[in-house]
Amino acid sequence: MALTPENFNCLLGALGPERDSAGERYESLRRRLLIFFAARGAAPADVLADEALDRTARRVAEGVMPSPSIESFVLGIARNLVREQWKRPRAMEVDWARMAASSSVMEDPRAECLDECLRSLAPQSRQWVERFYSHQGAEKIRAREALAAEIGIDANALRVRLHRVRAKLAQCVSACLRRNESCEKVIYERG
């Protein structure tokens, strides 16, 4: 169910007496939710963040006053959304090409972490990853064979190398997301 203007106004009212400060608090909470979902591998993070805020807004409009704070209430809803997603079957493969192409942290916080981790790779490894994951369909097979020939190894050896690089990237992205979530908590607790 979509967020209605009335429910949104109720949520803003619960976030603060002044509309501007309530709006800033809303955006801060949404960023925190994006990091929360991305750190747990729940995707799409932006859709889940909006759903958590929509559910909160509906509850506030119904007269449920979150306690001890609205932030705790929203995070409780977010945890439930993650549990709901775990119950559904999902693809385990990360779309590295889509994440690398995404430039906005508001779309997916993992994209910024992936970009940071790609920059930390040796230039040659980064180029291999980008080339390995940049094609679709039959073109993907031809491009990977060409890359393997260019490097001077067979296709299986290339897959093994890229699997190792991808595993390092996945660890780096997870660490980055945890670091960002910790930073967001510190900022949130001080603010």
Q: What is the DSSP string of 60-119?
A: HHTT---SS-HHHHHHHHHHHHHHHHHHS-------HHHHHH---TTT-HHHHHHHHHHH
Residue 180: other Cβ atoms inside 10 A? 22
Provide the token pair at 89. Answer: 């079957």
Cβ proximity of 117 and 176 under 8 Å: yes
Question: Has residue 120 got a pLDDT over 70?
Answer: yes
The least confident of 67-76, 97-106, 114-123, 179-188 is 97-106
| Per-residue pLDDT tens over the stretch 19-58 | 888 888 889 898 899 888 888 877 778 888 888 999 988 8
* Predicted pLDDT at 88: 61
Residue 55 corresponds to which tokens in the numbers above?
């559910």
Indicate the average pLDDT of the chain: 78
Instruction: Copy the structure tokens of residue 40.
Output: 């747990």
Average pLDDT over residues 129-148: 82
Q: Which pLDDT belongs to residue 66? A: 66
- Output DSSP code: residue 106: T
pLDDT of residue 47: 83
